[in-house]
Chains A and B, each alone.
Chain A
Amino acid sequence: MSLLDVRGLTVTYAGGAAAVRGVDLRLDAGRKLGIAGESGCGKSTLALALLRLLPAGTRVGGEILLDGEDVLAMKWGRVRAVRWAGASIVFQGAMHSLNPVRRIGDQIAEPILLHRKATPAGARKKTGELLEHVGLPAARASAYPHELSGGQRQRVMIAMALACDPRLIIADEPTTALDVMIQAQILRLIEQLVADQDVGLIMISHDLAVLAGTCDRLAVMYAGRVVEEGPAGEVYEAARHPYAQALSAAFPRIGDPASRFAPRGLPGDPPDPAALPSGCTFHPRCPVALDSCATEDQPLRNAGPNRRAACVRITTAAEPADEPDSPRDTPTDGSGTRRDTADGDPDAHRDTADDTPDPRPSKAADDSDTQHGTTTDEPDPRPNTTADAPDARRNTADDGSDPRPSKAADDSDTQHGTTTDEPDPRPNTTADAPDARRNAAAGDPGSLEEARPSTP
C-alpha cells in the first residue's frame, strides 16, 4: 500500500476557480516526489488540500488516501490527529509562518504537547533533540524568530514539521527565498531526514533543477493538472511535454553554450484558473500546438518507461517493450485516468484522438503492471477502501456526473476496467464537477465538510 494515494483530486475555490482539476499521485514511504509548476498552477492548493487546509467554501473532490484512509472522508477529530502526526507541511516563507512574538522552542513544542500529550519537560527535551537534528544548537530554543537568519528559520520550520514523527512531509517551496549555499544546506538536510526516518516527501517548487536534484520522481503541473510525470532526472533532462521542456530550459545549465546570451522563457502568462482556455489548456502558449489542440483536451499518456505526458504529439511507439522495467520503482503513479475528468471535450473528439495514437491499451497494461508491482498486498490491508469506496464511486458514477468513475477501475481492475470504461459516454466536464461533487458527497458523508484554516 502506498503511503499517499491521491485519486482524481479536484479543488474548486468559492469564486469558481478550478485550481486542481483531476490529479492522481502516488507516493511510497522513503520516496521523494517533486511537484513543479508556475504560480497559479495549483501546486500549493494541492498541498493544502492534502491536509484539508483550504478555506471554507472550497469544493474538494476525489480521494486522498493517506495510509489507506481517505483524508476527505475523515471526521474533524481525525483530521486534526492526522495533521502533524500523519503528515505535516513545511510552508514557504518561514518568515511569515513563525509567530514573531513567541520563542521558537515553544512553537516547536506546541504540536508535541497537543498531539503527544507530552509533559512540558518531555516536550522541551524533544524540542532540543529536534533542533539538534536540523543542525541548530538546542540552546536556540529560547530565541525569537527575528534573531535567526532565513536559513535557520527554515530549519526551525523543518524541526516543527518533524515534531510528531509524521509519515509524510509536504514541503512547499522550502528553499525559494534562500541563497544557493543555504538552499544546498536545507536540501541536504531534507534528503537526509527522508532517508533516515523513512518518511515520504512531497516537495513543491517552480525550480525544476532543484526538484530534479532532490526527488526521485517529478510531476509537472499546468493549470491544475499534471501534464508530465516520470523519473526526476529524465523529466528534467528530456521532458516530453512542451511546457515541461520550457520550464526545464528556463533554468540555464552553466557551461552550456546554448543558453549563453540566450535566456529562454515561455511567452504569455499562466492561464487564469477561473477562465481556462478550451482544449489543451496549454495550447495558447504552446510552440508546437496543432489546430486540434484548441478543441481537444489531452489526457496523460504513456511517454516511455515509467513516464507519462499529456501532449498530442507524443506517440506511444515503443510501448509494450517498456513495461517490464516499470513495475517496482514507481513511487507515484499518476494513473492515466485523466480522460475521465476531461473538460468540455466532446466524445467524438476523444474517440478520434484515441484511435490514432491509441494510448489506451498500453496505459491499461502499464497501470495493471504497476499495480502488480506496488500493490499486490492491496486487498489485504485495505479491504474497506478497495471494496467499499470504489463501489460508492461507481454508484455515483452511474449518475453520469462523477468526475472520477474510472478511478475505481484504476484501483484494482485496471486491465478490464479501463477498456470497458472507454466507450462509456462521459459527459462530465469541470462545469459538471460541482454537481458531481454534490453527488459524490451524498454517498460519501463527511467529504462535504469544508476545510477550515487551522493552527496546531
Chain B
Amino acid sequence: MTTSTTPLLSAQGVRIAFPGRHGAPDARAVDGVDLDIRPGEIVALVGESGCGKTTLARALLGLVEPTAGRVTFDGRPLEYSGRSLKAYRRRVQLVLQDPSGSLNPRHTVYDAVAEGLRIHGHGGDERAAVADALSRAGLRPPERFFLRYPHELSGGQRQRVVIAGALVLEPELLVADEPVASLDASVRGEILALLLRLRAELGLSALVVTHDLGLAWNIADRVAVMYLGRIVETGAVERVLTAPRHPYTRALLSVLPEAPGEPVVLTGEPPDPSRVPSGCRFHARCQILAGGEADRAGVAEACRGRDPEILDGGGTAQVACHWAHARKS
C-alpha cells in the first residue's frame, strides 16, 4: 500500500483549538495530526462524534485555519487569502452529510449544479458541463433532472445532485463528510459505488469522514482512526480493520453487530476536548489498561504519564499505543 508518490493533500502537525468561554481552557479539537492523501487514494477518517474528525476535514478544506501546523496541497502550503482559497476550492470539493440540508429548496437541480461554475467563472458550455456532471453522478438522462426541485427527488437522488455539484468543477479531491449517513440502506451502496467509480474514471482522491467502519471497508484504501483530536491508528484498511492493534480500534470493531467474540463496550462518552487526559489520551477508558494487561506488559506507567508520539501521515501501518508497541517488540 505504501507508494512513494507525493501526497496530493497533506496535514502536518495540525492543531486546532477553539478558545474556551468564560476563562475555560481551550478546546483542543484537533491536537496534532499528520495525514496524507495521495492522488487517487480514498482515505477514511473514522471516529466518534466529537473526536475532531469534522474539524480536521474543515481545516483540510481551508474553512478553518489551523492554530498550529500546516496544510499543503500539491506540495504548496495553503494560503488563507480569499483569492487563493477560491482557487483552492475549485480543486477540492466538499460533499456534506445531509443532502436535504445542503440543497437550496428553491433552486432547480440545474441551478444547484451550475452554481459552482458561475462562482468560478466557467468559460465553456455551462449546459454541457452540468449535463456531464449529472450523468457522471448517475442521474441519467441529465436533461430530465434539469428543472426538478430537490423536494421532487428521493434522498439518494439528492445526494447524487450534491455530488454532481462537487464534480462539475472537475476537482482533484473530494472531502465527503458522512456521505451516506442519512441515506437508506439500499441507496447507500449505490452512492458508495459511485465514489469508487469516480475514482476509477477520473482518478479522484477522496477523504471520507465517517463513524461507520463498514463504509471504510467498502470503499477506502486506508483508514485513520481518530480519538479526541489525535489519530490513534492508521494503515491499510485490510490491516487495521481485520487486525486492529489500538485498544480503541479493537473496541470499535468489537461492538459491531456481526463482530465475533465478546463486545468491548466502553463506558461513558469521549471526554471533553478541553480536558484532554494526560499521558495517553485514551487511558481512562482503555480496557487493556483496566484489565491489567498493560501492567503485565510493563507499560502501565507510560500509559498514564507519557503521551504517545504523533503518527506520521504516510501510508504505513502505525499505532499510537504503548501497549501495542511493547507487544510488538
Is the CB of A289 closer than 8 A to any CB of chain B? no
For the complex, give the distance between the alpha carbons of A213 and B257 in Å: 5
- For residue B191, which residues in chain A have a CB less than 8 angstroms away from its CB? 265
Let me know if A275 is at the binding interface, CB within 8 A. Answer: no
Most buried by B among A188, A210, A255: A255
Distance to closest chain A CB from B165 (angstroms): 20
B186 partner, pick from A210, A212, A262, A266, beta carbons under 8 A: A266
Q: Give the contacting residue for B265; candidates A185, A207, A208; CB below 8 A.
A: A185
Is A263 within 8 A of B193, CB to CB? yes
Interface centre among A39, A214, A250, A259 (most CB of B within 10 A): A250
B side interface size, CB within 8 A: 41
Q: Produce 1/0 per residue, B231-252, CB < 8 A to A.
A: 0000001100110000000011
Contact A210 B184, beta carbon cutoff 8 Å: no
Judging by beta carbons under 8 Å apart, are A210 and B257 in contact?
A: yes
B142 to chain A, nearest CB (A): 17
Contacts of B187 in A (CB 8 A): 38, 265-266, 269
- Cα distance A261–B222 in the bound complex, in angstroms: 12
Contacts of A250 in B (CB 8 A): 185-186, 188-189
Contact of A179 among B156, B188, B190, B211 (CB under 8 A): B211
Instruction: Determine the residue in chain A with the shortest Cβ distance to B154.
Output: A269
B255 (CB) vs chain A CBs: closest residue: A184
B258 touching A213 by the CB < 8 A rule?
yes
Min Cβ gap B210→A in Å is 10
Query: Which chain B residues border A314 with CB–CB below 8 Å?
Result: none
CA of A252 to CA of B241, assembled, Å: 12
Which A residues are CB-close (under 8 A) to B259? 254
Proximity bits, A184-212, B CB within 8 Å = 1, else 0: 11001000000000000000001111101
> Chain B residues near A185 (CB, 8 Å)?
265, 267
Quote the shortest CB–CB distance from A446 to chain B (angstroms). 36
**Contacting residues, chain A, for B49 (C-beta < 8 A):** 150, 179
Residues A181 and B252 in contact, CB atoms below 8 Å apart = yes
In the complex, are the beta carbons of A259 and B218 less than 8 A apart? yes
In contact, B184 and A206 (Cβ under 8 angstroms): yes
CB distance from A407 to the nearest CB of B (A): 31
A255 touches B241 (CB 8 A): yes
> For window 147-203 of chain A, which residues contact chain B by CB distance below 8 Å?
149-152, 179-185, 188
B217 interfacial by beta-carbon distance below 8 Å: yes
Can you list 8 A-B pairs, Cβ within 8 angstroms, ordered by A? A38-B186, A152-B269, A181-B252, A181-B266, A183-B255, A255-B241, A263-B190, A265-B193
User: Which residues in A have some Cβ–Cβ distance to B below 8 Å?
Assistant: 38-39, 149-152, 179-185, 188, 206-210, 212-214, 246-247, 249-255, 259-267, 269-270
- Chain B interface residues toward A at CB < 8 A: 48-49, 154-157, 184-193, 196, 211-214, 217-219, 237-238, 241-242, 251-253, 255-259, 263, 265-267, 269
